[in-house]
Every structure is written in structure tokens, then in C-alpha cells.
Amino acid sequence: MKKDDFLEARPLKSDFYSLPTLELAQALLGCLLVKQTSEGTTAGYIVETEAYVGPEDKAAHSYNNRRTKRTEIMFHESGLAYTYQMHTHCLINVVSGGAGNPEAVLIRAVEPAAGIELMLERRQVKQRVALTNGPGKLTKAMGISMTDYGHPFTEPPLFIAPGLLPASISAGKRIGIENSGEAKDYPWRFWITDNPFVSRHQQALSVIEPKKG
């Protein structure tokens, strides 16, 4: 792939986001996340996601249909950005499940594809791999913030475009949800097998053949 191919990238249409959340979390792997700012454009291939599956998932912010100012956007149509603040960081999700069904996919890591110089300016790190190998890291590197709350991923300046089809997808337990009862063991974390930008190494509970299309 040529260096500037991301400039040709066109957002995925809204019907892409009508996939069931667990399928969407896998379909997003390999896709290109693009953010344009006045400082420049950054893009990265999504290499790690987690599914948060609506009112029945104790680990989800929307558990028990909890509807607050923060979770409000999860109740809207699929394909919107759900950003929220976590300690000193901003995390970004893709709203899924359709209107009235509050589900989402957390983007946990990307592999830099464009704008790496700008990412390096935004994050002081020694190792390139540390630029975007975590949910709080990638938002800082790409200039994603709470002002992106509710933005549709189908249009600039923040959008998702087709990328590469992963050779293999691994599934395992989600990270950082130890206080979520039995939900903590659900295998709803997905990553591109052996990709170096994945946030944490973990035993895969299963390995999946990616779906084409």
C-alpha cells in the first residue's frame, strides 16, 4: 500500500454499522480510522476492539438501560461516536445495536498508517509501538477528544474507511472490567492475531477466520 493511500479513503456507509455488535467489533478490525484536524490528518488501522452489548452486559455503561447524559448517544442510531473521559484520558466507541438498543464497540488500539510525525508531536514516547497501543493513547495521538461526541463516522473530520482484511482474529476476555460479575469473562475482546500494536498480550480463547466483504 502506498504511503498516501489514506487520502483516497472514503468513509464506510451507514449500513455497515447495522451489523450485530459482536460482528461489527470483528468487521472493524483492519479498517482505517481517520481524523482530520487543523494540525493535519492522522490515520490508523484498527487492530483491537471490545464489544459492549447493551442492557444485559454488566460491563457496559448502558447496563440495565442506564440512560444518562454520558450514555445518551448509545441510545441513538448506529455509527455515531461515543467518547467519554476516563481519568485523564478520552476513550472512543462506535455506537451499534440500532436506535433504542444501547450497544457499542470500544476501539482499543490502532496501527499508525498516516500522520505519524504529528502523532509523535502529540505523544512523547521513545518506542513507536507505544504511540497508539491503548485506548487512551490512540485518542491523544490522533487528536480525538470529547468534542467528537456524537459525530457520525460516515463523514469527515472523523470517519472510518475500508482497510485491510486481517489474516486471523483472536478473541479473549475484555480488559479492565473486573467488577462486572460474570460479564468479565465474556470473550468479547477481538484483536488481529500477533499484531504488535495490540494493547496487551493475552491468551486467546478462540481464533476466528475473518469474514470477507
Partner DNA sequence: GGGGAGATCTACT
Partner DNA sequence: GTAGATCTCCCCG
**Interface positions with DNA (CB under 7 A):** 50, 52, 59-62, 66, 68-70, 82, 85-89, 91, 93, 104, 106, 123-125, 130, 134-137, 146, 174-177, 179, 199
Contact 170, 191 (CB under 8 A): yes
Distance in Å, CB of 95 to DNA, minimum: 10
The answer to whether 50 and 25 have CB atoms below 8 angstroms apart is yes
Q: CB 8 → DNA: shortest distance, Å?
A: 29
CB nearer to DNA: pick between 4 and 68: 68
3 Cβ contact partners less than 8 Å away, ≥ 6 residues apart: 114
Interatomic CA distance for residues 82 and 46, integer angstroms: 16
Instruction: Tell me the residue type at 26.
Output: Q
**CB of residue 56 vs DNA: minimum separation in angstroms?**
13
The least distance separating DNA from the CB of residue 137, rounded to whole angstroms, comes to 4
Please, which residue, 18 or 61, has the CB nearer to DNA?
Answer: 61
Give least dist CB 3 to DNA, A.
26
171 DSSP β-pair partners: 190, 206
3-state secondary structure of 52: strand
Tell the residue number behind the cell numbers 499484531, with chain if given.
Answer: 195
- Residue whose CB is less far from DNA, 88 or 203: 88
The least CB distance from residue 74 to DNA, in Å, is 7
Q: Please say whether the dihedral angle defined by the alpha carbons of residues 67, 73, 79 and 82, taken in this order, is positive or negative.
A: negative
SS3 of residue 51 by DSSP: strand
Q: Where are the alpha helices (DSSP H) in the chain?
A: 21-27, 116-122, 135-142
Choice between 34 and 53, CB closer to DNA = 53
Strands 189-192 and 206-208: unpaired
Pick between residue 9 and residue 42 the one whose CB is nearest to DNA: 42
Which residue, 20 or 168, has its beta carbon nearer to DNA?
20
